[in-house]
Amino acid sequence: MTTTAPPTTPGPAPGGSSEPVRRAGTSRRRARNSDRGVNRAFRWTATGAGALILAVLAAVAIFLLLRAWPALSAGGAELSEQVAWFPEGASLLSFVGPLIFGTLLAAALSLVLATPVAMGIALFISHYAPRRLASTLGYVVDLLAAIPSVVYGLWGSLVLPPVVVPVWSWLADTLGWFPLFAGPASPTGRVLLTVALVLAVMILPIITAVSREVFLQTPKLHEEAALALGATRWEMIRTAVIPFGRSGVISAAMLGLGRALGETMAVLMILSPGLLYSFKILQAGQQQTIAANIAADFPEANPLGVSALIATGLALFVITLLVNMGARAIVARRKDFSGAN
């Protein structure tokens, strides 16, 4: 009986190297060679650009802290004596507190007014409007972002008050039991609710543009699957589009909030200011924002007054930083199913 030997696989030649080893060495040499010249310059340029952002942020923080230090180290009596517009007998903290309150209240009201409208516009452009109409509406919304703040301020101080005063009076008469709408409503219309309405129009294009792009990124497979299961257009948007774009909408809202927190000219031209912890948004002389207060008092401020105003700017810087960090934390919690990433 004859037997056959099993086939053998030829190995590498004695004393020689295998082909995979040669390929690995060649790929490493190519990687080293590709990191020279233009590629290395681009890599260092990108790294420098990222480091520059951190350096600028640190430089701004150091500048604000150094220039605000004279006011931070001075007592309330010294500030009241040397700064003409500083409240008598108040400390720097008691002066900054109402400004922070007014800034946060105005920004929050504008965000509440703008976000639902922006989401509705974004959904209409992305899922309801015909292509030509959607393109036209997109251009119109983006055009709102190009209007200067002074124009919004003129509109809010000259054109808007006669229109909204009857509405604010009706709110005060009908919902005056609620603290926000406590009356009597100011006959001038220069109140915080008017400011919030103008700020809402200003941040509307930011939230709309980002939300629109996020909604357009919804996977078509998700939308078609919802429609195939018998869902209506609204049910498809509610179950597939909005959950996918929720984090992106939050990011867009935080971008708009940053714009509202730092707005100066429009608030300065519309609001009748006051330094109170007051939720009465229909009455004049109740609140003031940090940015508008700096613009109003800076021209006549002495060195210590400038330091006090920069201290309020430092508070606004910290608030903006905390808002952005909070927004990133919210988005990061849903990064696995998010239209923002």
Q: Cα separation of 150 and 232, whole Å?
A: 44
Residues whose CB is less than 8 angstroms from the CB of residue 109 and which lie 6 or more positions away in sequence, other chains included: 192, 193, 196, 199, 200, 281
Residues whose CB is less than 8 angstroms from the CB of residue 278 and which lie 6 or more positions away in sequence, other chains included: 286, 287
Report H helices in 10-159. Answer: 19-34, 38-73, 76-82, 92-123, 131-144, 149-154
Largest CA distance in the chain: 119
> Looking at the predicted structure, is the pLDDT value of residue 5 above 80?
no
Q: In CATH, what class is 48-336?
A: mainly alpha
pLDDT band at 289 (very low <50, low <70, confident <90, very high): very high
| H or E stretch at 177 | none
Residues whose CB is less than 8 angstroms from the CB of residue 270 and which lie 6 or more positions away in sequence, other chains included: 153, 156, 157, 190, 194, 195, 198
Q: Cα separation of 86 and 71, whole Å?
A: 12
Q: Cα separation of 311 and 321, whole Å?
A: 15
pLDDT band at 340 (very low <50, low <70, confident <90, very high): very low
> Looking at the predicted structure, is the pLDDT value of residue 330 above 70?
yes
Q: Cα separation of 252 and 268, whole Å?
A: 25
> Looking at the predicted structure, is the pLDDT value of residue 300 above 90?
no
Q: Cα separation of 142 and 147, whole Å?
A: 10
Q: Find out whether 295 and 112 touch, Cβ atoms under 8 Å.
A: no
Highest mean pLDDT among 93-97, 111-115, 330-334: 111-115
Q: Find out whether 110 and 281 touch, Cβ atoms under 8 Å.
A: no
| H or E stretch at 34 | helix 19-34
Q: For 122-150, what is each residue's pLDDT tens digit? A: 999 988 888 888 888 888 888 888 888 89
pLDDT band at 339 (very low <50, low <70, confident <90, very high): very low
Residue (of 250, 218, 231, 210) closest to 127 by Cα position: 218
pLDDT of residue 31: 54
Whole-structure pTM value: 0.82
Least confident of 168-172, 231-235, 292-296, 310-314: 231-235
Residue ranges per structural domain of the chain: 48-336
